[in-house]
Amino acid sequence: MKKINPLMKFAVMTFLGMLAAMTTYSQQNRADIPEKYTWNLTDIFPSDEAWREAVTELSGKLDQIEQFKGTLTTSAKNLLKALQFNTELSKEASKIYLYAGMSSDLDTRNMKYSGMKQELQQLFSAFGAKAAFIEPEILTADWATIENFMQEEPGLEIYRMNLANMFRTKAHTLSETEERIMALSGLVSGVSQSVYSSFSNAELPKPEVTLSSGETLSVGSAEYNRYRAAANRADREIVFDAFWNNYARFRGSFGEMLYGNVKADMFRARARHYESSLQASLYPNNIPAEVYHSLVDNVNKNLPAFYRYLNIKKRMMGVDTLKYLDLYAPVVKDVDLKYSYEEATRLVLESLQPLGDEYVSTVEKAINERWIDVYPAPGKRSGAYSNGAHYDGHPFILLNYTELYDDVSTLTHELGHTMQSYFSNKTQPYPTADYVTFVAEVASTFNEVLLFNHIIEQVKDDDVKLSILMNWLDRFKGTLFRQTQFAEFELKIHEEAEQGKPLTGDTFSEIYADIVKRYYGHEQGICHIDDYINMEWAFIPHFYYNFYVYQYSTSFTASISLAEKVMSGDQQALKNYMDFLSAGGSDYPIELLKKAGVDMTSSEPFEKTIAAMNKVMDEIEHILNKKEKK
């Protein structure tokens, strides 16, 4: 989860590793999409004018934070007043930013909403500077004093977790003057990400190609996502070559954007006296750095299991040489896994039955009451996410649904986030309703496990079963191995920068090529990596989110373990999981998962995941052997 500034309190916003594909819906103007498939943003504000009034009202309150300066440690009553005031501002600010941000996401070409976001970022950065005294002033007291305040004033109890964490991270909290500078740095530290988003989503030129059918195609990210899954290998070759070589034309600019982001991470880490950018990212949430390193090490040790998957794909595709451009292509001929949105919602609802009536009925509300913006449209932000920042309202989901099986999985994935936001907002007070990505991705991938198991139980035809099984294996590839590949790249580029080594577009490409070739067994002849794939790093927006991607992998391993218990009918496991969804940020993420039933500091979740992967591959090979004997 990425916070814009100290005032903003965001619930999870997550972007899938695979950006959503587009079909003919990409040609559909937003005005032509039926209303029931679009967001109802009037649930936040009835109009842009109402939003403007809310901004004006909030702006008039921001200076009032300074009235609490010098009073925070004088009494329990004063501390409570200050924290309550900050809570109300934060809640309203989140709502205001949510409206502007999601309006912008519906059409990134509309500069009006981009301007509204920029206005808020400046406003909140200025507030952060004014509120910079809060943590340093509280930390002038000792913890015993704060404990006594909480006993004296029960209203402070809901702030216990945040206050305790404040004291735990005291060594990385700066003086008031320094904190003010850190807050003001928000005006510039996000520029690289903003430039990247604007350029890659709206302004990057699209090369034109001619497909084997004679059709002319302009290849942007939407078309790339669509045609990398095309059955025709020649078309995949054409699209891959054009798409990545187009990125290579701008490798210098993309390199400067990413290096700028890495330097911003380094600035924050060094300013707060962390040993590294990685520690600065993990320590505030009390996640041991060893969890990150162990993930990378375990995946590298288990690359033979990944090679087994790649060899199965090669066998099923019947190619002499498996290439990177084959990885998204269908492996079973004449099986067209297409699902209308209505079919997708039915399957998702059926698969979620093990989670109980309240869970399922709330998902039905999300579907029927316009919490979801379903289809792609010109200018709409690519990918998918869930945002639960509207504490007193409901979460929202952005999709780019194109009727592929992956889109069904994306739908249930984002609903997992939405339900965690819904239950946390419903159960927790605002200060502990927010939760970190480390636990957020458990809720989403848990739903994917349920969907897979529901669908595979219904399938009798071997070819359809093979297609579904391979799609599920692709999830292991995309979520466990690919995201860890990204995590290793992200760690490496930060380490290089922290050692004073220069990073350019060419450097990023060299580092990325080395890692991707190792993961895919290029030198062993497992999967051929064409030279242009060294530009793939420039396509991944997650690298602008400060050690974000590893959490997809760790969460996937956690969700495999938890889902097995719930699907077995274990009622205590179900209760523990629902408690986990309702826990928000009331404890540290490692502890929340332990209460749910999985210890992420051990190797057990990873071992169970690899065992589950091998079980699926056993089943695939059994079907393939049976078919070959016929």
pLDDT at 547 over 50: yes
At which residue do the structure tokens 């609490």 appear? 68
Q: How confident is the model at residue 129 (pLDDT cuts 50, 70, 90)?
A: confident
Report whether pLDDT(19) > 80: no
The band of 176, judged by pLDDT with boundaries at 50, 70 and 90, is confident
Q: Which of 353, 377, 416 is nearest to 16 (CA)?
A: 416
The CA distance from 88 to 72, in Å, is 17
**What domain range includes position 190?**
39-196
Q: Is residue 233 part of a domain?
A: yes
Please check whether residues 173 and 191 belong to one and the same domain.
yes
Question: Is pLDDT at 630 greater than 80 in this prediction?
Answer: no
In contact, 473 and 613? CB cutoff 8 Å: yes
Q: Are residues 143 and 275 in the same domain?
A: no
Quick one: 262 and 325 in the same domain? Answer: yes
> CA-CA-CA-CA torsion for 436, 442, 444, 449, nearest 10 degrees?
180
Q: How much of the chain exceeds pLDDT 70, in percent? A: 96
Q: Which residues lie below 8 Å from residue 351, measured CB to CB, with a gap of 6+?
A: 412, 447, 450, 451, 453, 454, 455
pLDDT digits (tens, 9 = 90+) for 425-470: 999 999 999 998 889 889 999 999 999 999 999 888 899 899 999 9
pLDDT of residue 405: 85
Closest CA to 418 of 14, 4, 3: 14
Q: How far apart are CA 589 and CA 124, in angstroms?
A: 27
Cα separation, 398 vs 411, in Å, equals 9
Tell which residue, 539, 412, 525, has the closest CA to residue 472.
Answer: 412
560 vs 28, which has greater pLDDT? 560
The pLDDT confidence band at residue 186, using thresholds 50, 70 and 90, is confident
Q: Which residues are catalytic?
A: 414
Q: What is the pLDDT of residue 20?
A: 35
CATH number for the domain harbouring residue 516:
1.10.1370.20
- What is the pLDDT confidence band of residue 17, given thresholds at 50, 70 and 90? very low
How far is 448 from 470, CA to CA, in rounded Å? 14
Does 191 lie in the same domain as 120?
yes
Per-residue pLDDT averaged across 581-585, rounded?
Answer: 97
Residue 569: both structure tokens together: 């009918």
- Together in a domain, 158 and 212: no
Q: Which of 325-334, 424-433, 531-540 has the lowest mean pLDDT?
A: 325-334
Scanning the structure block, which residue is given the tokens 């790649």? 310
| Amino acid, single-letter form, for residue 243 | F
- 209 and 189 co-located in one domain: no
Q: Report the pLDDT value the prediction gives residue 27, as an integer from 0 to 100.
A: 45
Checking if the pLDDT of 5 tops 50, the result is no
**Shared-domain flag, residues 114 and 224:** no
Measure Cα distances from 489 to 101, 400, 506, 524 in Å: 29, 27, 14, 21
pLDDT of residue 345: 98
| pLDDT band at residue 22 under the 50/70/90 scheme | very low
Residues 227-266 pLDDT 10s: 998 999 999 999 999 999 999 999 999 999 999 999 999 9
pLDDT, tens only, 607-624: 999 999 999 999 999 999
Domain boundary among 544, 566, 590: 544
When divided into structural domains, the chain yields a total of 2
Report, as an integer, the average pLDDT of 172-199: 89
The residues facing 372 across adjacent strands are 397
Which of the pair, 244 or 186, is modelled with greater confidence?
A: 244
As a whole number of angstroms, the distance between CA 220 and CA 208 comes to 9
**Residue whose tokens read 């062993």:** 524
Both tokens assigned to 449:
């496990």
CATH (domain of 97): 1.20.140.70
- Other Cβ atoms less than 10 A from the Cβ of 529: the count is 21
In terms of domains, do 56 and 167 share one? yes
Contact partners, residue 128, CB within 8 Å, separation at least 6: 5, 6, 7, 183, 184, 186
Q: pLDDT at position 24, please?
A: 40
Would the pTM count as exceeding 0.85? Answer: no
Residue 414: name the closest of 108, 114, 11 by CA.
Answer: 11
Whether residue 4 is predicted with pLDDT greater than 90 in this model: the reply is: no
pLDDT of residue 15 exceeding 60: no
Q: Report the DSSP beta bridge partners of residue 348.
A: none
Same domain membership, residue 77 and residue 138: yes
Q: Considering the domain boundaries, does residue 392 fall inside one? A: no
Among candidate residues 112, 120, 50, 49, the one with its CA nearest the CA of residue 89: 120
| Domain identity same for 481 and 522 | yes
Q: Given 544, 562, 586, which residue is the final one in a domain? A: 544
303-317 and 505-519 helices, crossing angle to 10°: 80
What's the mean pLDDT when you consider all of the chain?
92
Domain membership flag for residue 323: yes
- Asked whether 419 and 358 are in contact (CB, 8 A), the reply is no
| Banded model confidence at residue 26, pLDDT cuts 50, 70, 90 | very low
From 505, 520, 544, the end of a domain falls on 544
